[in-house]
Amino acid sequence: MCGLMLVAFSAAKAGKLLKTEKAVKRLNYSAGGIMMGAGIYLAASR
């Protein structure tokens, strides 16, 4: 139950933080960098 409350609290906090276009753009760049890193790791591990 505490875990679900933590997820709900985090989602509410993220919703408030992502109101600006600058914050959304920063999140997109971060997520893209993580995905690129994962792709490079997977390609190098073969």
What is the value of pTM for the model shown? 0.63
| pLDDT tens digits, 1-46 | 888 999 998 888 888 888 889 989 998 999 999 999 999 999 999 8
CB 38 within 8 Å of CB 32: no
CB 24 within 8 Å of CB 18: yes
Q: Is residue 46 part of a domain?
A: yes
- In Å, how far from its chain's centre is CA 44? 24
3-state secondary structure of 18: coil
What is the domain extent for residue 44? Answer: 19-46
- When divided into structural domains, the chain yields a total of 1
Q: Is residue 12 part of a domain?
A: no
- State how far the Cα of 41 lies from the Cα of 23, in Å rounded to an integer: 27
The whole-number pLDDT of residue 17 equals: 81
| pLDDT tens digits, 18-30 | 888 998 999 899 9
